[in-house]
Structure 1
Amino acid sequence: MATVEELKLRVRELENELIKCKQKQSAAEDAQSQELHRPKIDKMSAEVVDSNPYSRLMALKRMGIVDDYELLLFDYDKVELANMNRLFFQPHQAGLSKVEAAEHTLRNINPDVSFETHNYNITTMENFTHFMERISQGGLEDGKPVDLVLSCVDNFEARMAINTACNELGQIWMESGVSENAVSGHIQLIIPGETACFACAPPLVVAANIDEKTLKREGVCAASLPTTMGVVAGILVQNVLKYLLKFGTVSYYLGYNAMQDFFPTMAMKANPQCNDRYCRKQQEEYKKKEAERPKVEVVEVEEEVVHEDNEWGIELVSEVSDAELQAASGSVPDLPEGITVAYTIPAESPASGETVEETEQSLEELMAQMRKL
């Protein structure tokens, strides 16, 4: 009778055979789809025709556009049926690695894109070293770094690995995430030394010194709402385009609360006491660059008062002096600080202080007396 270990070994062998069968099936389907789909395009065209897949994209040329596109994908997970709600993976891809399944799908959509996939966990020492090497030398030009790193991971350990690599290399990256209840998310642009890195403001699980692996319970998983992920992914990609193509305002931090449709935004400065020593080093480098940058002096220039001319050469001049205007306004009451009156009541007595005696004479008699004077 077979032992438990032998049965487990046989189960793993059968699982591997099943994966190989699915991979062969997927490869055959990809080969078939390649025949059905368009061939590669040698040069992007701006011709406005429905058969040109880049005509709409090239319409943005007035804003500036990149010459080529390339994706480097890192992931160690496999596609499961539970991932079907992502509206990206397909049922026949179950068992494939996520990077492989993603490459197949994306290549079918656009065969002009170059892909490089790595099916491993970036948090291990050996894989982390290779991960850093590809960031620093995996750009479109051989030996040049990538333009930008995008983080779409679902755990703190992987985010910290990306944060450590980018701080050490001085690599700009954008971090994104969706909450466990699937109704909120955020994106964040991280410029080493200039903005707060992911370690500058650690979340509660780090501040409380809790191992996030212990937070997962058997039979319990985080919620996953494709609409929330779609909104966050769209905001992230839009921010990437604005950063790479240099148009619009790039967000440093933008949140999304699906319950209230609330989009908070902010900018966070780097923490001088950050636990990441490479972050502190990048902060010092940034301070030196800012000190060496030429200072722009702001000179205040008084605007010349320009009187509008008119065809008659008439100039309006007030005939009332400031003192006369103040006297006519009357006294100002003593009010608390910050409160002023809208207007004042003029004094009742004449300015000369003289009084007029009452008389019983009629108006005609008074006018006759004035004529004799």
Structure 2
Amino acid sequence: MNTNKTELNDQELSRYSRQILMPEIDYAGQLTLAQSHAVIFGLGGLGSPASLYLAAAGIGKLTLVDFDEVDDSNLQRQIVHREANIGQAKVASAKSNLAQLNRHIEIETIARHMDEKEVNELVRQADVVLDCTDNFASRFALNRACYAEKKPLISGAAIRWEGQLSTYDFRNEDSPCYQCLYPEDNGQELTCSQNGVLSPVVGMVGSMQAIEVVKALLKLPTLTGKLMIIDAYSMMIRTLNLKKDPGCKHCAR
């Protein structure tokens, strides 16, 4: 947490006034958000709305991690990028557009693959981590890092008309981990490039990830121990209990 910031200036008070009016946030909560550091892994369909709303909400520092470049096929759903950004690194594109949204926040970028030691070090510096990636290898790596560093992990996924969301808050010893839901030998994963995805579905999930980040930072109730499943085709949302697996090969050790 960035303890260098001790108060909100007049411009920030005006900008965030609608959040400060909320009793669950108030001035103290908004200052906490301004002092906080969120790391977003993946600036695609989920990371785009999540980053936009976290920047707008006044999270003081965002670190954006993605090694890919903007392609025209991304623009259908990756709303932090623009046509003018095609061919740029996604993190550079996102940083430019987020900076235009909010000049009061700090944005750092990492545009390369990171090894496990580097991921752990970055997670150690964060107050909260967002998993907006699209493959099991990355998800399992972030699960391990956040578990090791006892940091909350906000995990979202979307494909076709469907989305899911959970928070694994490793500040709480009773929290399940990602491998309690999906064992590492789970099998074949589905991808948007092969199965498709509706643009607003990733918007729903990414926006909800941003909400979970705010709540985790302010120590408000989150989806820890729960799995939200979204069916946008029928507009049905279910929330299932997700318990710690006593046989989990990772967190039950």
* TM-score bracket relative to the smaller structure: 0.7 to 0.9
Matched residue, 2:143: 163
Query: Closer, same or farther in 2 for the Cα pair 1:62/1:270, shift >3 Å?
Result: closer
Q: Looking at secondary structure, tell me which structure has more strand per residue.
A: 2
Question: Is the contact between residue 89 and residue 111 of structure 2 (CA under 8 Å) also seen in structure 1?
Answer: yes
Query: Equivalents in 2 of 1:160, 1:233: separation in Å?
Result: 19
AA aligned to 2:85 is: Q
Query: Equivalents in 2 of 1:43, 1:261: separation in Å?
Result: 39
Question: Is the contact between residue 75 and residue 99 of structure 1 (CA under 8 Å) also seen in structure 2?
Answer: yes
Query: Equivalents in 2 of 1:221, 1:190: separation in Å?
Result: 28
Question: Which of 232, 238, 241 lines up with 1:258 in the alignment?
Answer: 232
Matched residue, 1:66: 30
TM-superposed CA distance for 1:120, in Å, is: 1.6
Three-state SS of the structure 2 residue aligned to 1:104 is: helix
Query: Closer, same or farther in 2 for the Cα pair 1:44/1:57, shift >3 Å?
Result: farther
Higher relative contact order (CA 8 A, sep 6+): 2
Query: Closer, same or farther in 2 for the Cα pair 1:224/1:62, shift >3 Å?
Result: closer
Question: Is the contact between residue 80 and residue 98 of structure 2 (CA under 8 Å) also seen in structure 1?
Answer: no
Root mean square deviation, CA, Å: 2.6
TM-score (ref. length: structure 2): 0.75
AA aligned to 2:200 is: T
AA aligned to 2:119 is: F
Residue deviations 1:58-116 (CA, integer Å, cap 9, x gap): 32366342321111111111110111112321111111111111000000111111011
Number of residues of Structure 1 aligned to a counterpart in Structure 2: 213
2:196 aligned with 1:226, yes or no?
no
Question: Which of 162, 174, 179 lines up with 1:184 in the alignment?
Answer: 162
Question: Which of 193, 197, 215 lines up with 1:242 in the alignment?
Answer: 215
AA aligned to 1:280 is: A
Query: Equivalents in 2 of 1:234, 1:72: separation in Å?
Result: 17
Three-state SS of the structure 1 residue aligned to 2:113 is: coil
AA aligned to 1:260 is: S
Query: Equivalents in 1 of 2:181, 2:101: separation in Å?
Result: 39
TM-score (ref. length: structure 1): 0.52
Query: Equivalents in 1 of 2:122, 2:198: separation in Å?
Result: 32
Question: Which of 84, 90, 97 lines up with 1:98 in the alignment?
Answer: 90
Kindly report which structure 2 residues correspond to 1:319-334, keeping only aligned pairs within 5 A, or say none. Answer: none
TM-superposed CA distance for 1:46, in Å, is: 7.8
Runs of 4+ in 1 over 4 A off after TM superposition: none
Query: Equivalents in 1 of 2:245, 2:74: separation in Å?
Result: 37
2:72 aligned with 1:81, yes or no?
yes
Query: Equivalents in 2 of 1:66, 1:55: separation in Å?
Result: 9
Question: Is the contact between residue 20 and residue 30 of structure 2 (CA under 8 Å) also seen in structure 1?
Answer: no
Three-state SS of the structure 1 residue aligned to 2:15 is: coil
2:179 aligned with 1:206, yes or no?
no
Query: Equivalents in 1 of 2:236, 2:228: separation in Å?
Result: 10
Return 5+ residue gaps in structure 1 as ranges. 1-41, 139-145, 282-373
* Structure with the greater alpha carbon radius of gyration: 1
Matched residue, 1:287: none
Question: Is the contact between residue 46 and residue 58 of structure 1 (CA under 8 Å) also seen in structure 2?
Answer: no
Residue deviations 1:220-241 (CA, integer Å, cap 9, x gap): 6341322111111222222222
Identity of aligned residues (%): 25
